[in-house]
Amino acid sequence: MMIHRIKEDFLDLKWINKKGIIGLIAVLVIFVVLLVLPGQIPYSIVVRGKIKPVHEFILTKKTDGSVQMLERDNLLNIVSSTRIYQIERGEYAGFKLNSPALVKEVVSKSDTIGRIFSSESQLRLTDLRNRLAEAQMNLNNFRTGGKENLIEIAKRRENLYREQLDIQQKILDRKEDLFRNKLISPEEIEKDRNSLKDIQLQLYNARAEYEELSTGAKPEQLKYLESIISSIKNEINEVKNLSNNLIIVAPFSGRVLQSFNEDTLVIIADRFSSIQMPVPVKYLSELRTGQIFNISSEYLPSDSSAISGEIIRINNSIELLNQQEVVIVTGKIKTEIMDLPPNLVVTAKILLYELPLRQHIFNFIDSVFQVLF
């Protein structure tokens, strides 16, 4: 009885070993076939990335009252241009958005975004227009024989500027004392000095005009008045050109992005998107510009599986992210997709190159050994 049971157990064990050997042979055969099988299989890596517009235009208000216009190129990761409008001390200035252009959320190149207005420029323009009207009236009066009236007006103007000069000189004397005691800034004292020079120049012109009207011959007087009118018109054009430079226009077509930062006035993102991807440094030697990638996210439309791009730039420095050394890789989305919100984190699959099937097997075995040992 015992001998019979031992015999059965031996036969069962023999059968099990036989099946194991057959299975092992089958696995080896499949493995060998896979090793010699021709063909290439794509070798890719999966990383996370953040969507950025290719170009951004950002208009911000600084704590010192200045307004900064900044244009950023996210493909090259540089600030391509910047401009700052500095408001002088004591000057009232502001910024007004062009609401009808921004409410539609999409703007075209050269659309007016807003305007910076300056109290000093407006006051100067008003004064020049008044002076122009007065000079033209004087010219008309002179041509029609009203010379005595012109002489009286010129004398009153000279007296007015002399009084203004006296007041400004007293103000400057007080400010000089404050400046010597370091109670006011150099900018403020310089502004008062310039104001005094302006009044001195206006008094000189008014005195010259009075003397010219009192003693000059008629042709010379006409020529003098015409030169004054021409000079005022040139000054008006200069102020207008300065005002035109304070009109903010969109540097490119794109979307107007919402911002809840009180210091950010406007953000415009162009229609094309880029992506910044931190890639583990171990893949650095395998990265190339021009390599293709696909992106996906649960927040993108269902038909977004076709969204792809190519690598444009590989950073030349290494950074530390979550205790891992990475290199920042920048890519450009190939198609114009307005639904890609900036700063959205997506999954990116980068196709590095194609490998033979056997190389994939070796890589798999190597990864298994790394996990186990």
In the chain, where are the structural domains located?
Answer: 2-36, 42-52+272-372, 55-111+250-268, 120-245
Identify any residues that bridge with 275 across adjacent strands, giving them in sequence order: 51, 331
Place 11 in a pLDDT band, splitting at 50, 70 and 90: very low
CA distance 320 to 330: 17
Q: Given a cut of 50, is residue 368 above it in pLDDT?
A: yes
If residue 13 lies in a helix (H) or strand (E), which one and from where to where?
helix 2-36
Pairing of strands 55-61, 264-270: antiparallel
Looking at residues 79-97, what average pLDDT do you find?
66
Look at residue 38 in the predicted model and tell me its pLDDT.
57
Which has more pLDDT, 196 or 148? 196
pLDDT, the chain, mean: 76
Looking at residues 92-112, what average pLDDT do you find?
69
Looking at residues 296-301, what average pLDDT do you find?
77
Place 24 in a pLDDT band, splitting at 50, 70 and 90: low
Quote helix, strand, coil % in the chain, to nearest 5. Answer: 50, 30, 20
Looking at residues 361-367, what average pLDDT do you find?
60
Which of 349, 332, 326, 347 shows the shortest CA–CA distance to 279? 326
Half-sphere exposure of 357 (CA within 13 A, CB side): 10
Q: Rounded to the nearest 5°, which phi and psi values hold at 33?
A: -60, -45
Q: Which two tokens stand for residue 203?
A: 């008094």
pTM for this model (two decimals): 0.55
Looking at residues 44-51, what average pLDDT do you find?
91
Reported as a single tens digit per residue, the pLDDT across 226-241 is: 888 888 888 888 777 6
Q: Which CATH class is domain 42-52+272-372?
A: mainly beta
In 2-54, DSSP assigns E strands to: 40-53
